[in-house]
Chain A
Amino acid sequence: MKTKFAVPLALFLGLVVFFAIGLTHDPREIPSPLIDKPAPDFTLPQLHAQDQTLSLADMKGKVWLLNVWASWCAACREEHPLLVAMSKTRVVPIVGLDYKDQRPEALAWLQEHGDPYDVSIVDAEGRVGINFGVYGVPETFLIDQQGRIRFKHIGPLTRKVVDETLLPQIKALQNG
Chain B
Amino acid sequence: MVERAVAGKLIPRVLLALACAASTHIASATSAPLAVDPAREAQVMHIAEKLRCLVCQNQSIAESNADLANDLKREVREQLAAGKSERDILDFMVERYGDFVLYEPPVRNSTLLLWGGPLTLLVAAGAGFAWTLKRRRAAQAASTPETTAGNDAAARARARALLEEAPENTPEERA
Contact = CB atoms under 8 A, between A and B. Distances in A.
B95 interface: yes
Interface string A114-155: 000000000001110111110110000000000000000000
Interface stretch (A31-39, A61-69, A80-88, A158-166): A31-39
Q: Is the interface of B mostly helix, strand, loop or mixed?
A: helix
A135 B71 contact: no
B54 A33 contact: no
Instruction: Identify whether the interface residues of A are mostly helix, strand, loop, or mixed.
Output: loop
Given A30-B54, A126-B71, A130-B72, A135 B98 contact: no
A74 to B, nearest CB: 14
Interface residues of A, number: 18
Given A100-B67, A130-B72, A33 B55 contact: no
A133 B97 contact: yes
A160 to B, nearest CB: 24
A33 B94 contact: yes
A133 B96 contact: yes
Contact of B97 (A27, A28, A33): A33
Contacts of A31: 98, 100
Interface in B42-78: 54-55, 57, 67-68, 71-72, 75
Interface of B: 54-55, 57, 67-68, 71-72, 75, 94-100
Closest 5 CB pairs of A and B: A135-B54, A133-B96, A33-B98, A30-B100, A126-B71
